[in-house]
Each structure stands twice: as structure tokens, then as C-alpha cells.
Amino acid sequence: MNSPFEIEVSWEDAHGVTSPEIEATWARMVVKVNGKLVTLVHGADGTPRSGLYVSAYPLAEWIAFNWWALTSEVQVSSVPPTEWTWACATPNSWLQRHNLRAAGGGMSWPDLTIVPEGAVSSVVWTKSEPQPGGRGLRFLMSDRAILASEAVTETLQQFVEAVLERLRERDVRNSPLEREWMVMNALDADEQEFAVSAGRLGLDPFSLDDAAADEIVVLGQAYDHDLVGEILDASESSVEGLREVEGWLRAATRYVAPTRQSRDLNHLLDSGKEVSTAVDPYRPWTAGYTGAGWVRAFLTAERGGRGDDSVSTMVDSLETMSVHGRAGGLEGFTVRELDRTLLLVPEREYAATRAQERFLKARSLGAHLLGQDRTRFILTKTHTPLQQAARAFAAELLAPADVIQGMLTKLGGHADPSAFDSIAGQLGVSPLVIQHQYENQIARRMADSV
């Protein structure tokens, strides 16, 4: 069975090339995602072809030297997908670690970006005009896909090893690629865990100074595995961001102490554990929608048909505290211990609008309902399955798609900004929540029914 992500190389002879690595790895290369050709191009003469004639070495070297960020830097999933194209790249951009065009080497690479999101990775490719010095190639295809991260990693690894094997066959030894790959494969389990943590920050684990390396090690000792990942994701791809988040978290933890909590909220969360299921990484929003529907049904049954009022009461009952200090990309820290569920937020989030505060509270409830046995969560802008599920839960809990559709009908059926603003005001959410609910649920249902 073919991999959903394929990099195929057919070795070719190269003449007049001075670099032994480039000469040895000249090839015809074809890249496919779910069987779709990423490397469908027009040459300078306008003739379409399915592959590139390039040296595989620059791409393999780029993969090896960016391996840990390329496979672990979840934080960049918070960047809007419209910016996942090489046209948005700068010399210090995250795209230098995630877009194939950064491989350079004078070759014409597809504008393809790989973004890890936990168990899955998003792969986006964009059609483009010829690059300067890019042999006149025009890439013809644009699309995106969600693939198993394991499959993406396996294909990248096999490609690098195929290039290394070709170098050995041609007696090209001691290249930078060979040295880097050898060091990576010699890491023990603890060293690999450290490298993944550094990569999650977008950093090269082999280039960190001792102080930064020590901070990552101490972090892994102070918090559980899941929370460490979320702290790194909130650190905005920098050691400075990590220090901000970790410092804020230490201050926030002082407020976590058992007190009496709303009996109704505890009853809801305890009951929800019985219906909680694992979040599907390919469709995480479905768990959020299902969870929100369960909460509404539960509250309606408990309160004798006053579900909407009960949702507002339940969300408002979640204790929320503001904690001073910079917190990087962290949006909230939510804890459930003994009989207390608490949401701690940076001051900037606490000063947000009433609608934004309610949405953050609902996300917190979603994390506790969908996170199964965990008791502590950090809310971030990333697109990991749990973060996506918690956002979908909050949207459907506060602004159910069926309710929005009914309100749109009463307003004449026009899904425009003025209608979204009106509905948002009535439901106590932001217009953006209404727009997302319309696009992600209502519009899709309408399209499916045609």
C-alpha cells in the first residue's frame, strides 16, 4: 500500500557539476500527496510534466538539519493557513523550517509546507510562477491534506536514507548530511525527548546554549508530559517565550488550592466522564460538537427544559482569576482538583470582552470533558486535536448551529456580516464564532444536501 505522502527519485547522470554531492544525487523527483501530483509543472517551453530534474541532496540536507522542528513544532499550526506559502517567507520566518523551498541549492522546489499538529500533520501546496533562477518551472497545483504524522515522518526518513545510500554508492563520504544524520541516529531515548522538546520550540537541539538546554530539561522534570507539550506550544517558538510562560505558570499555580465549588458544575463534569471518548485527530471538531450536544441535553434534562439558561449559568459559574505577567502565547490555564475547577488567565485575556471571556470559559469546560483523565490543561492557539475539539465544543455549546440557522431564517436567510453581528449579540458570542459555525456546519450541510 502506497504512503499518503510520497517522494519518488529516479537517479540520473549529471555532467559538468562541480559539487560531488550534487552530481551524485541528480535525479528525476516526483512528489505526491494522497496520489495527487505536487510536482506537476510546466517547463519553459510550456510542456507539462509530472516531475522535477534536480539534485536530491539539498532537500535531504534541509530535512535533516530541520528535522526536529519539521516534525515537532506544533506552535506554527496557529498561523493562518493563508500564510503557509513561500510568498510570506522572510529570512527568519518559520517557513524556513517547514516549506520545501527553503531547501534552496539553486533548485526549483514546490511551495509545499508541512505543519505538525500532533498525531496528524497538515500539508499544503500552492501553485506558483517560476522562481528567480528556477529553470522556468511553473507549479500547477494547489491543495491541502491532513495526513498521519507517522506517515509523513517515515517518508522523510526514507528519502534522506535513500540519498545517503546513493552517496555511498558513488563514494561520496563525510558530507554534512551524513554527519548530521549519524548524530541524530546515535541519540538515546532521553536525548531524543530533549531534541523533540527543542524542536517543538522551533530550535536546533544541537545549537542551544547550556542555559536554554537546562531550562528545557527542568521543564520536563517539573510537569507531566502532556502539560510540557502545551507549555512548549504556548512559548511562541523561542526560549524567551518559554521563560515567560513558565514564569507565569509558576505564579498562577499559587492560586490552585482546594475550595468549595459549584455542586452543579462538579456533577456535570463527573457525569461527562462517562460519555467522553478519544478525540479523532482527523476530525477533532466532531468530538467537540458531540460533547456540546451532550451537555445541552444533560442540562435540559436536569433543569426541566431550560437548557439555554442553564448553559449560561453553568459557563458563568466557572471560577476565573486573572494572573499578572507576560504569558507568551498562553491563553488560559485550567485546573480541576478535588472539588474545584478553576480557569486562570493572563491579564490581557481577562481584560477581553465579555463574549471572549465566555468563550474561553467554555473552552476550559470542553478540555475537562474531552481530555479524559487529565486534570490540568493549557489553552493555546495551536491546532492540536484537543485544542481544536475544545474550540468546537465552545462554539457549539454557546452558539449551536441549529439555533443559528433558525435565527438566520427569521432574519431573511441572508448569511452576511450584519446578520452575524445581530445573532452574536443575542447569543453573547463574537461575530467570528457565528461565522465559523455557519461556514463549518451550516454551509457544509447545505452543500451536502444539493
User: Tens-of-pLDDT digits for all 450 residues of the chain?
Assistant: 688 999 999 999 988 887 999 999 999 999 999 999 999 998 777 789 999 999 999 999 999 999 999 999 999 999 999 999 999 999 999 999 999 999 999 899 999 999 999 999 999 999 988 766 545 689 999 999 999 999 999 999 999 999 999 999 999 999 999 999 999 999 999 999 999 999 999 999 999 999 999 999 999 999 999 999 999 999 988 899 999 999 999 999 888 876 656 677 888 888 887 666 779 999 999 999 999 999 999 888 877 655 567 898 889 889 899 999 889 899 999 998 877 889 999 987 666 788 999 999 999 999 999 987 889 999 999 999 999 999 999 999 999 999 999 999 999 888 999 999 999 999 999 999 999 999 999 999 888 876
Under a CB-based contact definition with an 8 Å cutoff, are residues 295 and 315 in contact? no
d(CA 434, CA 407): 11
37, 59, 62, 128, 200 from 67: Cα distances, Å: 24, 12, 8, 25, 11
Q: Which amino acid is at 147?
A: L
CB under 8 Å to 87, separation ≥6 — which residues? Answer: 111, 126, 128
Q: Which helix (DSSP H) or strand (DSSP E) does residue 81 occupy?
A: none
3 state SS of 234: coil
**Domains of the chain by residue range:** 5-182, 186-251, 263-449
Report if pTM > 0.85.
yes
Cα 429 to Cα 398: distance, rounded to the nearest angstrom? 7
Distance CA 339, CA 254 (A): 17
